[in-house]
Structure 1
Amino acid sequence: MGVVLSRVSNSCRGASREPVDTCQTVSSISDREVNSTDSDNSFIIPVQTKVCESEEVLVPALPVTAYVERGYVTPQQVYNLLNAEAGQPALHDPYYILILDCRSVERYKENHLVTARACVTVIHPQLGCLISCVQLQEFSIILLYAEEGCSPVGSVAARADSPDLQRCFFQLSALGMDPVILQGGFSAFHALYPFLCTPHMVLLEPERRVLTIYPSEILEVTLYQGSAPQASDYRIIKNLHITHVVNATADCPDAFPNMLRYLRLRLSDDGQQDLVEALPLASRFISAALRGDPAGRVLVHCSLGRSRSSAITLAFLMEHRCWSLLHALRWLKERRACTAPNVNFLRQLLTYEEQLFGSRLTSLDDIRL
């Protein structure tokens, strides 16, 4: 299938000529059609769409991430850690992540990251560790944070800004742990994700099981990927300021048709599902939403948020970030570890990659999950 890439920025394009065939393609649907809806405010894939070849191709680009000081993790990374899923939400496991609030007890009581503990209950400035090394080793992740700060670990500035955090960091390191620090501290995280902060202490498994698990953030505060239950949770939609939804399920209804803009794809997660029309249509819908005035926020979902939604997200990253399938998949899995498009979808994404870039950049062996 040829694709007319009329909505891709010039920085991603290679030398091109005007297409010799002027027939309409899936991805050349006009803005008027993309922004119109049917009676239930959903977008439906056309039953038949003529496809033609285009000579216009993209130039591959590499993902670029902001520099993060050694020993630090960004607020966005912490958001995705708190909402990670692998069979079930990781946060339901009391030994998944140990979060230590290295501010004053008073500030901790006012508000803190969900499931955080005051560091003085675990690490005492003079006495050292109050829980055994064996217990510490049971945690997959140990996260520390102060009120602010992102100076290099151990530097004079860091010790001056957050002495308790630095002391805690090196105490844990001396015990064989590998702690990480929240870049920008509590203030940076709270500015982005106040709904993941609480004045209440949440530690035990029963308390954790009632926590709201949010969709993964794929592109910062713009593109999210998750499950059907998350797409039907008004609290999640409101807190993330979602404006557009790609519903890639076969039978889950659009939850808020009078409030949000929907693209309804009705896909099945099997070896026979054809994505030839869905991929460019979804990419165009997402791009139009993110480039709107004001810019929208998009949630892509299927039933579990693993296969169909991943295929849609990958296609968008390939077309509108000019990333190969391999780089797009690496980016996605770093932000949503449960990403698992089925082999049929992977093969179709490889074909889509070849259509976008004019040649195959990734092999199935590179990306087989």
Structure 2
Amino acid sequence: MHVLLMKGWWRQLMHLSNDLNEMGVVLTRVNNSCKAASREPVNTSQTAGSICDRDVNSTGSDHSSIVPIGSKVCEPEEVLVPALPETACVERGYITPQQAYNLLNAEEGHPALHDPYYILILDCRNAKRYKESHLVTARAAVTVIHPQLGCLISSIELQKYSIILLYAEEGCSPVGSVKARADSPDLQRCFFQLNALGMDPVILLGGFSAFNALYPFLCSSQMVLLEPERHTLTIYPSEILEGALYQGSVSQASDYGIIKNLHITHVVNATAKCPDAFPNMLCYLRLHLSDDSEQNLVEALPLASRFINAALKSEPAGRVLVHCSMGRSRSSALTLAFLMEHRSWSLLHALRWLKERRACTAPNVNFLRQLLTYEEQLFGSRLTSLDDIRR
């Protein structure tokens, strides 16, 4: 079937199952309300800073920078017991709003949404509701699948789409069930018509209401179909932990609209030279890292991991964006370190989780080797092999 997304990621999604002396570490503190981290980061030769773990949405806050540099490897306080990621149980044929968000913002060299045949989104509500607001790039289902006339677009044309996503106003009942047919008859009709044509559509769990409640900035009253129009769309960072942890590029981290819409409070900047975009508004951990075979992450991994954890556990809870230049290698390594240390996942399980949410995840081999060492430090033994994660 044609439903494949960027080198097999869609199939994975549906089966869900240099040198320390050259590395500068800068922790930017915003507000006097920043508290010390609950765990000591690393013994340093200079004064270590506190991790901002309170609300930092203040433009008039006091700002300072602290640069700890050291050479001691940060050892875990205790050996972790490996755990498996817990995933929500979703009825076959459905995807969650978070999965739909990550599909809309997927990147593989360039934003997937810029390709007009990447995803066909069909709004199965009435015309009035569609005109009021709909998922970005969505089309009214009646313009593609007519209740009486059948398909208005040839099956050959439909087969060009990598993904076909349907949604009603609400709904989470099993496809084809009596309740589903009663709640959203137009969507069910459309679903089975497409099936009869050899398509394999998926349905948005909870419908438009659920998606709009979480991501109103990805809903619009405007119809966006043509490729030039698609190039004007904002592509957001991938959501790694729902409503909590995001990963993306430096351009996304520098877009105020993205920061505002995602309610980002903390940022891990893993670029070598790009400055922090909003130092007076957000709490930053600045790690001057290079994406090469010489870069040492011995301090960066625990620092980033514990900075993210402190932000997410603060009161009120923060939202963290981890970024490098493209959001592929350096940022992935730091996100993986957090998932291993604070979710107790092996590197293999953490990498699978991350790739299911950000298809372009690609830590370089040097980083993977260091992550394997970090895994051994955390768990007391190596749980993953390099062959496992390079397949």
TM-score by length of 1: 0.90
- Residue aligning to 1:239: 261
Q: Which residue of 2 aligns with 1:249?
A: 271
Q: Deviations over 1:199-253 (max 9, x none)?
A: 0000000000000000000000100000000000000000000000000000000
Q: Is 1:319 matched with 2:341?
A: yes
Which residue is equivalent to 1:26? 42
| Contact 2:245/2:321 (8 A) holds in 1 | yes
1:14 equivalent in structure 2: none
Structure 1 match to 2:52: 35
- Structure 1 residues 207 and 303, CA, compared in 2 at 3 Å: closer, same or farther? same
Residue in 1 that maps onto 2:356: 334
Quote how far apart the aligned CAs of 1:35 are: 3.5
- Cα distance in 2 for partners of 1:200, 1:226 equals 26
Question: What's the CA shift string for 1:116-154, capped at 9, x where partnerless?
Answer: 000000000011000000100000000000000000000
For structure 2, the 5+ residue unaligned runs are 1-36, 57-61
Contact 1:27 1:284 in 2 (8 A): no
Q: Aligned-pair distance for 1:47? A: 2.0
Corresponding position: 1:221 with 2:243: yes
Report the CA distance between 1:327 and its aligned residue: 0.1
Supply the AA of the counterpart residue of 2:289: L
Of 313, 316, 324, the match for 1:294: 316
Match of 1:170 in 2: 192
Question: Structure 1 residue 53: deviation in Å?
Answer: 5.3
Asked if the contact 1:97–1:143 (Cα under 8 Å) also holds between the matched residues in 2, the reply is yes
| Residues 170 and 206 in structure 2, CA contact (< 8 A), matched pair in contact too | yes
For the residues of structure 1 that align with 2:74 and 2:281, how far apart are their CA atoms? 36
Distance in 2 of aligned mates of 1:53 and 1:78: 38
Shift of 1:26: 1.9
Q: Which runs of 4+ in 1 moved over 6 A?
A: 27-32
1:352 and 1:259 map into 2 onto residues whose CA distance is: 32
Could you tell me how far 1:104 is from its partner in structure 2? 0.0
**Secondary structure at the residue paired with 1:139?**
coil
C-alpha offsets along residues 3-30 of structure 1, whole Å, 9 cap, x if unaligned? xxx969xxxxxxxxxxxxxxx7629999
Q: CA RMSD in A?
A: 2.2
1:184 is matched with which residue? 206
| Aligned residue in 1 for 2:365 | 343
Residue pairs, 1:93-108, within 5 angstroms: 93-108=115-130
For the residue of structure 2 that corresponds to 1:98, the secondary structure is strand
Give yes or no for contact 1:43–1:264 (8 Å, CA) kept in 2: no
Task: For residue 264 of structure 2, give the secondary structure of its aligned residue in structure 1.
Answer: coil
Matches within 5 A, 1:64-103: 64-103=86-125
Alignment CA distance shift 1:179-1:27 (3 Å): farther
Provide the rounded CA distance (Å) in 2 between the counterparts of 1:134 and 1:167: 20
User: What CA deviation, in whole Å up to 9, does each residue of 1:340-368 have, x standing for no partner?
Assistant: 00000000000000000000000000001
Q: Give the structure 2 partner of residue 207 of structure 1.
A: 229
Give yes or no for contact 2:246–2:322 (8 Å, CA) kept in 1: yes
Separation in structure 1 between the aligned mates of residue 135 and residue 189 of structure 2, nearest angstrom: 20
Q: Bigger relative contact order, structure 1 or 2, given CA contacts below 8 A and separation 6+?
A: 2
Give the structure 2 partner of residue 358 of structure 1. 380
**Using a 3 Å threshold, how does the CA distance of structure 1 residues 70 and 43 change in structure 2: closer, same or farther?**
farther
CA distance in structure 2 between the partners assigned to 1:55 and 1:216 by the alignment: 31
Classify 1:353/1:30 alpha carbon distance in 2 versus 1 (closer, same or farther; 3 Å): farther
Matches of 1:40 and 1:54 in 2, distance apart? 30
Instruction: Return the TM-score normalized by structure 2.
Output: 0.85
Change (3 A) 1:305 1:53: closer
Equivalenced residues, count: 347
CA distance in 2, matches of 1:54, 1:216: 28
- Provide the identity percentage: 80
With over 3 angstroms needed to count, the CA separation of the structure-2 counterparts of 1:86 and 1:53, relative to structure 1, is closer
Q: Which amino acid aligns with 2:50?
A: E
State the shift of 1:51 in Å.
Answer: 3.8
- Indicate conservation of the 8 Å contact 2:237/2:252, yes or no: yes
Cα gap change, 1:31 to 1:55, in 2 (>3 Å): closer
Q: Which amino acid letter does the alignment assign opposite residue 257 of structure 2? A: R
